[in-house]
Amino acid sequence: MRIAALQVKLNQKLGPEYISQRQGPKGGPKLTYAEGWKVINLANEVFGFNGWSSNVVNVTTDFADRNESGRYNVGVTAIVRVTLREGVYHEDIGYGLAENSSSKGQALDKSKKEAVTDGLKRALRNFGNLMGNCLYDKAYTQEVVKMKVSPVRNLPKKSWIPI
């Protein structure tokens, strides 16, 4: 029963409140995506805060270059695994890029975090439309970005539990 109910949820598509857009590289067409924190909140809501976990399987620095002006460009690849309580898992690869950074450390930090977040989102999308797979449907994304956006649900004030 639990798996069937979960599958029904995962077959739904993301609402417009989870979807963002930004300019594509070099002024190209807008890219439609879900922000990492929103996807994590959604995974907690769908699977339960203790119903899933993620781990970084591998991180590889593809390049770390210093340009003529002394600034750094770094590219990083990360493989991330998302595992559900039942043991089912998906892995995927993410990529992070830092360009024109003033320090090598900052460039490595930014690109590693970006790669892990990208890998996490890509691994989660393998569980279904609700976890972001619907963003690969161009007809859907063209329509959903036209919808009015409701804010993502936040916990009511004073609902936190001190640890």
- Average pLDDT for residues 98-107, to the nearest whole number? 97
- Please report the pLDDT score of residue 158 as a whole number: 52
- Average pLDDT for residues 30-59, to the nearest whole number? 96
pLDDT band at 147 (very low <50, low <70, confident <90, very high): confident
Asked if 73 contacts 107 with a C-beta cutoff of 8 angstroms, the reply is yes
CA quadruple 111, 115, 117, 118: dihedral sign: positive
Q: What is the C-alpha radius of gyration for the chain, rounded to an integer number of angstroms?
A: 18
Query: What's the pTM value of the predicted model, to 2 decimals?
Result: 0.86
DSSP state of 34: -
**Which CATH class for the 2-144 domain?**
alpha beta
As a whole number, the mean pLDDT across the chain is 91
> Which residue from 134, 58, 41, 47 is spatially nearest to 94, judged by alpha carbons?
58
- Average pLDDT for residues 9-31, to the nearest whole number? 90
- Please report the pLDDT score of residue 2 as a whole number: 79
